Amino acid sequence: MTPTTYKEPTARGYYGQFGGAFIPEMLYPNVEELRDNYLTILADPEFQREYQQLLRDFVGRPTPLFEAKRLSKKYNTRIFLKREDLCHTGAHKVNNTVGQILLAQRLGKTRIIAETGAGQHGVATATVCALMGMECIVYMGSVDMERQRPNVERMRLLGAEVRPATSGSQTLKDATNEAIRDWISNPVDTHYIIGSVVGPHPYPDLVARLQSIISEEMRKQLLEKTGSELPQYVVACVGGGSNAAGAFYHFLDEPSVQLIAVEAAGHGITSGHSAATSVLGKPGIIHGSRTLLMQDEDGQITEPYSLSAGLDYPGIGPLHAYLAAEGRARFISIEDETALRAVAECSRLEGIIPALETAHALAALGELGAGPNDVVVINLSGRGDKDLETYMKYADSIK
């Protein structure tokens, strides 16, 4: 059956065969409270007023839709960049944390927890906790804390406590386990801010709705600049899938718009060092949700790899698994080297240094098959300052 809308999951949080809420019984009350209240709170005019005001005055929205003339010339098509890199804290992630902290307040919560891998979501969470005067605890793998020192320092400066996860591979997956353990022990006063369109229902839907401001703005801006709300292509990189969900959202039910999701191929899809989940993944359960997941024959999650810390996640959100299964979005994967070349290209042709995650979306330009009369929107999810050290290290690839 063809769905009437791709946007909304079923009442139990299913997008086709993907989604749901597979959680330990001890977590039921927390997730249920959220599920029973999130739609009502999001629809409340007072919530919307405060959310929109913070998006404008704190985050800096609407972000510009910039016509990239020199890139357009090079690829012989009309390219626009949605400038999420200009959001406060340098990426789209804060759209979600601003919304979730307002939601937490309305649920009567006083304490916020979050997991973080590279530290970007941790910083976006610590930022809104400082804004609202809420206690903030961020779980982070101790290996990641070592690798992402500056973000640990940012979180601490913002008043958050960063708690190391010292089990397993001491990375994102272990930090997530610690956060879940904390939430089970503190069900009454604590809200868990998840950073992407992943996790048990209602998180994928909640985060997609909070990020959908991106495509809402795009439609208005496209109408102004091109005379039509609808482009031919919308392109975004996918780690868990939140910036892509936001960029796709208001185009999901417009079949004329081609949605392009770009994953990290790392050293190459068949290299054993990759994060191309839509190609390598099989259905399985990760972080409370049934989705596509990189796993071995015994169902053990395989370690993902990408030079870009924001894309090395072994799953994708259930909405994206569904879009892949239905053929509604086309999935492309881009290797590290190609992404690094796209960093240089965007920097030198447009004067914008993109995040390494974002560079994967930019690198897909050569593979779209877009023509001179087509309009292509690339979601520029974040800025590259945080990746400068990597760019210096791989200067030979970037030349």
Ligand X SMILES: *Cc1c(COP(=O)(O)O)cnc(C)c1O
Catalytic residues: 93, 115, 381
> Residue 137's closest CA among 148, 122, 149?
122
Q: Which of 175, 238, 332, 339 binds ligand X (CB under 6 A)?
A: 238
> Is there binding between residue 241 and ligand X (CB under 6 A)?
yes
CB 123 within 8 A of CB 155: yes
Residue given tokens 């005001």 in the structure block:
53
Q: Which of 243, 258, 278, 333 binds ligand X (CB under 6 A)?
A: 243
From the CB of 352, what's the least distance to ligand X, in Å? 13
How far is the first Cα of the chain from the last one, in angstroms, to the nearest whole number? 49
Stretch that binds ligand X, among 179-187, 279-287, 292-300, 350-358 (CB under 6 A): 350-358
Tally of helices (H runs) and strands (E runs) in the chain: 17, 14
From the CB of 379, what's the least distance to ligand X, in Å? 9
Measured CA to CA, the distance from residue 198 to residue 346 in angstroms comes to 29
Q: Which of 97, 120, 171, 333 binds ligand X (CB under 6 A)?
A: 120
CB 81 within 8 A of CB 352: yes
Stretch that binds ligand X, among 155-163, 242-250, 269-277, 324-332 (CB under 6 A): 242-250
From the CB of 110, what's the least distance to ligand X, in Å? 27
**Secondary structure (3-state) at 324:** helix
**Secondary structure (3-state) at 161:** strand
Residues 124 to 183 in contact with ligand X, rule: CB under 6 A: none
Torsion sign, CA atoms 186, 154, 157, 49 = negative
Q: Which of 93, 154, 250, 330 binds ligand X (CB under 6 A)?
A: 93
> Is there binding between residue 63 and ligand X (CB under 6 A)?
no
CB 213 within 8 A of CB 42: no
Residues 304 to 323 in contact with ligand X, rule: CB under 6 A: 310-311
> Is there binding between residue 30 and ligand X (CB under 6 A)?
no
Residues 189 to 228 in contact with ligand X, rule: CB under 6 A: 196
Contacts of 36 (CB under 8 A, 6+ apart): none
Q: Which of 19, 240, 281, 314 binds ligand X (CB under 6 A)?
A: 240
Give me the residues that bind ligand X (CB under 6 A), please: 91, 93, 120, 196, 237-244, 310-311, 355, 357-358, 381-382
